[in-house]
Structure 1
């Protein structure tokens, strides 16, 4: 139980002055460093005050150092960007907000940018917009990948009929609750912790920073976090047989999951974004697009860490699908998985580039993917067409049309209950920030990318679980 309390008077006594730095120091001290006794903590805060540059990259104390003026670039160190950004293609332009366009336009001005595209579900984010695809030459942008590294979709199609699901909904609901774990900081303890070969990977020894997160990764393996992450049962319909998947036409029960690399990936993203901003000093307005040279030690470290986080996200889905398959029974007829919030080495105009897909689905020719709607709107199993203009990409979902804050303020519980009832969907958890009305019309989004993907099957959600608290954590 924390009893420590640092006051403004304490900080003034050691040399802080009234202002932003004092407020940051007091807030951080009282919320994040509970294990320190007051004497040690005051000594630490004194060191930050005296040597702020030494703490610019500190996991917890960097906001204080920056408020004290540390890390501000010398004008001579700022990397110039192009006066006019390169052209890029926009899909579904009628439904994309100005903020996302402006962010993409800034990304196209980077000296390392070679191509870009904006998907029809795009909306404003941090650095690269959600739904932004950016190809760079020998450089990787941590905020071009995103905070939830390797976030993905996974679909299992069972030899179970729709009638069986409707007649046994109580069992499907019971197991959905029993076998999944949601919420900020969520995870498993003791005998409930999952086992997976990934936890034995030597890649966890890449750096001491990564190694120190192993225990947290083990605890959260197989959990889903918060935000828009979900585990849901639904009915998938193949209007025609699909030879590649060996799926006959018909309706089948399916399990669809959406989640990423949890706290493991988020910590990697924050750590390497701070390093990128310290090494790559871009002009105001472009700073969240700070990049790492792929030939640098930091660039190679991030690349390896990003790939490990992606593998970890995949392991989380594997655990969830194995547990629910064992609980429900039935044979898995087909399994499809794809990820976004990632960077790939690909060929573009005869040269190797780094393609960032932040909230965008890989859609190379013949590549399978899943594009979900909302908790009441259909999702789509798709096959990529390999459209070069889109950098072989498509949308990763419907995309938000309303911020979380706006959704909470403008949507009532009664309205949310009504739309769930109208679509015959059972919801477990979720806040108003995830209400279906907060998302774009998935049918309009799909209409904006007919050149990018072919629809193979249509998925209708029937029973959805999300974080009970509507948590923002990914």
Structure 2
């Protein structure tokens, strides 16, 4: 059956509104490239465009159709003409794309304040490293896809030299007790967790079908920049809150997020927000949900569940590895990003503070800011700086996009770089090469007012997803 059997009524049945979209879609189907397309395939494609026209705005073939299907901007949710002032840390090495994205966020009618961290780079919606305080609303893509992505560090009562003396054993421990990526094999013996009894799995529609996925993925890590690694913890501050004496110890650091749950929540509520709050194209990923709305309340509950699930995953990773190592940690530090918090600002106003790839750094709050595979990360204590909205960077930040790294870096050069620094890497890809990241020491120099350093963590045995090209991993 040929495509000529597709009629206007067929398009109305799959949700096309009356108007130019129908005629333009039929015109496209008359083109040469669709001559041999059968009716079922044509309608399936058109239904995809109708369901999410934003995806096709840059498609030369379907752009005109998609533009007719996108909800038109409403003056009530337009952008303010002026960009509210915000603090930028390390501005001289923040790319223009990230700055422009933050400028757009500062024009939203709901925006109260914002800041841009020194590891900032371009993303979707808010830039990675963007902090945005808004009034009584939540922006799903201001939180991001990997909700509650976090760092977790365990400091073991073992001296540094055991890392080198037991290197083969430690490598095998990581291999046996971690799983990565979307094609992981689940653990034969699963650890139970109270997270699975949470009522949100029954009460929130988008989560009902995700409980079993959550059960399978508990204790596993994502792709992209997610990792589990043994390394050297160097405690340098004698007055640290960890109650760990100054010295060097074996440490375990993990970085991952909420897996399939976070992605499902982000996709579902971003679409709802875009439909409820149509914005100009440059701001469309910043669509928000009012916290007075049912959808806003649902997202808030689902976001918190996803964040708690991410924490449960890290807890299981560290429990498994601690058991295999035969040691209990002296201390643990955990912090998260890609989240929204209800906070009181310095001027007394209550706001929803989004930290997209930014670390909470309230006064006395502990966290870990990683570098790259060949550079140290830092254990920090927040200083509660008001200009940064009590935030700091979440890492070194990318200086090359994933695509740029894959095109320009060579495997031989990366292997030599790792060998020169004594790094054993299991998995990983060129997109996560150390050369793709900014200098963590420069990043830290630009946030001396934001955090105090208690110590460092230097990676030595690293495991990442072996998928090769990686993924967004933290967006």
Report the alpha carbon displacement of residue 136 of structure 1 after superposing the two structures with TM. Answer: 0.1
Q: Does 1:181 align with 2:179?
A: yes
Structure 1 Cα separation of the partners of residues 289 and 175 of structure 2:
41
The verdict on how the C-alpha distance between 1:184 and 1:47 changes in structure 2, with shifts beyond 3 A counting, is closer
Partner of 2:5: 13
Aligned residues of 2:74 and 2:278 also touching (Cα < 8 A): no
Structure 1 Cα separation of the partners of residues 121 and 367 of structure 2:
20
- Determine which of 263, 266, 272 is the counterpart of 1:266: 263
Partner of 2:193: 196
Partner of 2:386: 388
What SS class does the counterpart of residue 224 from structure 1 fall into? Answer: coil
Structure 2 Cα separation of the partners of residues 25 and 181 of structure 1:
43
Structure 2 Cα separation of the partners of residues 233 and 112 of structure 1:
43
Q: CA deviation digits over 1:223-276, x for unaligned, max 9?
A: 111000000000011123234211101100000000000111011101100000
Structure 1 Cα separation of the partners of residues 182 and 454 of structure 2:
34
What SS class does the counterpart of residue 332 from structure 1 fall into? Answer: coil
Structure 2 Cα separation of the partners of residues 20 and 425 of structure 1:
54
Aligned residues of 1:230 and 1:464 also touching (Cα < 8 A): yes
Structure 1 Cα separation of the partners of residues 316 and 183 of structure 2:
18
Q: Does 1:45 align with 2:44?
A: yes
Aligned residues of 1:407 and 1:432 also touching (Cα < 8 A): yes
Partner of 2:249: 252
The verdict on how the C-alpha distance between 1:460 and 1:223 changes in structure 2, with shifts beyond 3 A counting, is same
The verdict on how the C-alpha distance between 1:236 and 1:200 changes in structure 2, with shifts beyond 3 A counting, is same
Partner of 1:458: 456
Q: CA deviation digits over 1:66-103, x for unaligned, max 9?
A: 95556422455662211011000000111101111100
- State which drifts further: 198-207 or 391-400: 198-207
- Determine which of 285, 294, 298 is the counterpart of 1:297: 294
How many residue pairs get aligned? The number is 449
Aligned 1:87-102 pairs, distance under 5 A: 87-102=85-100
Structure 2 Cα separation of the partners of residues 23 and 82 of structure 1:
44
Q: TM-score, normalised by structure 1?
A: 0.89
- Runs of 5+ in structure 1 lacking a partner? 1-8, 30-37
Structure 2 Cα separation of the partners of residues 347 and 438 of structure 1:
37
Report the alpha carbon displacement of residue 11 of structure 1 after superposing the two structures with TM. Answer: 4.3
The verdict on how the C-alpha distance between 1:440 and 1:25 changes in structure 2, with shifts beyond 3 A counting, is farther
Report the alpha carbon displacement of residue 208 of structure 1 after superposing the two structures with TM. Answer: 2.3
Q: CA deviation digits over 1:152-211, x for unaligned, max 9?
A: 00000000111122111111000101110112343516x344421111211212222211
Aligned 1:51-130 pairs, distance under 5 A: 55=51, 67=65, 71-76=69-74, 79-130=77-128
Runs of 4+ in structure 1 over 3 Å off: 9-13, 15-26, 41-49, 55-59, 63-71, 74-78, 191-194
Structure 1 Cα separation of the partners of residues 34 and 235 of structure 2:
57
RMSD, aligned CA = 2.8
